[in-house]
């Protein structure tokens, strides 16, 4: 049987981000199997050729030589808590995408201890991870995570600490918290097991001899189960079964919030902490966090203008917007990760 010749997409039908970033290669048509979520055909493709970096991207080596802005907080611990579909990843990537338009950024290379592979003699293997997350050297801001495609909805999204806990274990996250929150403005989101007391100020302060001091927490909870199911359906196409997820709703929000409030009564720390419903506008987190690390209110004004045309919320009924927002970043990430140094 003769080999089927590849079919290429006419440039007029390319994803607009390829044209905006001056791509010079070819785009092969690679149709996906049938699915309830209709991904635009222009994104059912394989890119042949090198993608150009997006605005303000620099190499990790270049980032090492850049000094942070004078008014930026030196280091801190930040976390978004909440069960599935409370909007943690959406809020995080909305912040990341805006900051990419204002500051230099790169993929952060990290040495990661894999506690799940701990040997009988007690040694823990350490792996060099080429893309551990997004780093803004001018802000000393490190956000672990990467863009992933859902097996359920085929939509694209950003996943943070769940990448660490599912890949290397919660002990890995505990270890990295102590390492990075004492060096950078360390900010992450996640769900599974992230209501653990080792992620609260008391344990973190005791484990670092009080070296972190600055904390930022946002807890998000669904007002009721119906809201959770509706949001889960919107982003994942399928509806959560049973009460497993909703049963954790308060543990990751209200209970965590009250526990931390109680802890900081006896600690000499700066802690910006708030509890919100999942429907809280993204701006509360974004404006608050930018101010927390030292950015002026002028960036909030710039964000408002930028956000008029940028919204990273997932909805399976609008796969076009999802791929328009994420696809180029996702492809650039995959290409970066696959390159040999």
pLDDT band at 276 (very low <50, low <70, confident <90, very high): very high
Residue 331 CA to residue 333 CA, distance in Å, equals: 5
The token pair at 232 is: 């889960």
Q: What pLDDT score does 17 carry?
A: 96
Residue 238 CA to residue 316 CA, distance in Å, equals: 10
pLDDT band at 1 (very low <50, low <70, confident <90, very high): low
The token pair at 124 is: 């823990």
**Nearest alpha-carbon partner for 94 in 340, 320, 309:** 309
pLDDT at 291 over 80: yes
Rounded mean pLDDT, 113-120: 94
- The alpha carbons of the chain give a radius of gyration, in whole angstroms, of 21
Q: What pLDDT score does 55 carry?
A: 93
Rounded mean pLDDT, 266-286: 97
Residue with tokens 């290669």: 25
CB atoms near residue 168 (< 10 Å): 22
pLDDT at 243 over 80: no
Residue with tokens 């419903």: 277
Contacts for 73 with CB less than 8 Å, ≥ 6 apart = 140, 185, 214, 292, 293, 294
Q: Which residues of 123-143 are buried (b: 16+ CB within 10 A; e: fewer)?
A: ebeeeebbbbbbbbbbbbbbb
Q: Which residue would you say has higher pLDDT here, 340 or 86?
A: 86
Rounded mean pLDDT, 95-112: 98
Rounded mean pLDDT, 49-71: 97
Give 57's DSSP letter. B
Contacts for 62 with CB less than 8 Å, ≥ 6 apart = 104, 106
Q: Which residue would you say has higher pLDDT here, 79 or 226?
A: 79
Contacts for 281 with CB less than 8 Å, ≥ 6 apart = none
Report pLDDT digits (tens) over 184-240. Answer: 999 999 988 889 999 999 999 999 999 999 999 999 999 998 888 888 888 888 776
pLDDT at 242 over 80: no
Residue 275 CA to residue 250 CA, distance in Å, equals: 11
3-class SS of residue 192: coil
Instruction: Write the secondary structure of 305-332 as one string of H (helix), E (strand) and C (coil).
Output: HHHCCCCCCCCHHHHHHHHHHHHHHHHH
The model's pTM = 0.96
The token pair at 122 is: 């007690």
Q: Which residue would you say has higher pLDDT here, 242 or 193?
A: 193
Q: What pLDDT score does 128 carry?
A: 96
**What percentage of residues in the chain have a pLDDT greater than 70?**
98
pLDDT band at 340 (very low <50, low <70, confident <90, very high): confident
Q: Which residue would you say has higher pLDDT here, 30 or 3?
A: 30
pLDDT band at 241 (very low <50, low <70, confident <90, very high): low
Residue 43 CA to residue 27 CA, distance in Å, equals: 10
Beta bridge partners, 148, equal 157
Residue 262 CA to residue 256 CA, distance in Å, equals: 10
Q: What pLDDT score does 251 carry?
A: 92
- What mean pLDDT, rounded, does the chain reach? 94
Q: What pLDDT score does 71 carry?
A: 97
Rounded mean pLDDT, 81-110: 96
> Parallel, antiparallel, or unpaired: how do β-strands 146-149 and 106-113 relate?
unpaired
Q: Are 104 and 295 in contact (CB under 8 A)?
A: no
pLDDT at 164 over 60: yes
Q: Are 86 and 155 in contact (CB under 8 A)?
A: no
Q: Measuring CA to CA, how many Å separate 279 from each of 81, 222, 253, 312?
A: 14, 8, 14, 15
pLDDT at 316 over 60: yes
Residue 292 CA to residue 98 CA, distance in Å, equals: 16
Is 232 exposed, middle or buried (CB count within 10 Å of its CB: 0-12, 13-18, 19+)? buried
Residue 39 CA to residue 122 CA, distance in Å, equals: 47
3-class SS of residue 295: coil
């Amino acid at each position: 049987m003769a080999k089927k010749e590849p079919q290429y997409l006419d440039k007029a039908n390319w994803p607009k981000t390829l044209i905006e970033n001056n791509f010079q290669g070819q785009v092969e048509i690679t149709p996906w199997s049938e699915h309830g979520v209709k991904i635009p055909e222009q994104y059912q493709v394989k890119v042949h050729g090198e993608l150009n970096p997006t605005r303000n991207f620099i190499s990790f080596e270049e980032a090492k030589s850049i000094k942070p802005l004078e008014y930026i907080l030196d280091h801190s611990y930040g976390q978004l808590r909440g069960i599935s579909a409370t909007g943690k990843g959406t809020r995080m990537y909305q912040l990341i995408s805006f900051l990419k338009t204002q500051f230099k950024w790169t993929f952060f290379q990290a040495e990661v201890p894999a506690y799940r592979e701990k040997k009988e003699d007690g040694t823990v293997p350490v792996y060099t991870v080429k893309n551990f997350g997004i780093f803004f050297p001018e802000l000393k801001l490190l956000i672990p995570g990467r863009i992933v495609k859902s097996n359920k909805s085929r939509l694209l999204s950003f996943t943070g600490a769940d990448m660490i806990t599912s890949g290397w274990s919660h002990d890995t996250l505990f270890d990295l918290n102590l390492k990075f929150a004492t060096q950078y403005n360390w900010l992450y989101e996640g769900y599974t097991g992230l209501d653990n007391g080792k992620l609260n100020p008391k344990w973190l302060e005791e484990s670092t001899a009080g070296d972190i001091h600055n904390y930022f927490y946002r807890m998000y909870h669904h007002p009721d189960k119906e809201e959770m199911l509706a949001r889960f359906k919107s982003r994942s196409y399928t509806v959560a079964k049973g009460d497993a997820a909703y049963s954790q709703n308060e543990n990751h929000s209200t209970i965590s919030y009250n526990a931390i409030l109680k802890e900081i009564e006896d600690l000499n720390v700066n802690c910006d902490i708030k509890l919100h419903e999942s429907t809280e506008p993204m701006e509360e987190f974004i404006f608050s966090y930018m101010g927390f690390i030292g950015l002026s209110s002028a960036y909030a004004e710039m964000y408002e203008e930028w956000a008029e045309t940028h919204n990273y919320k997932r909805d399976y009924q609008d796969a076009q917007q999802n791929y328009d927002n994420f696809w180029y970043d996702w492809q650039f990430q995959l290409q970066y990760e696959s390159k040999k140094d």
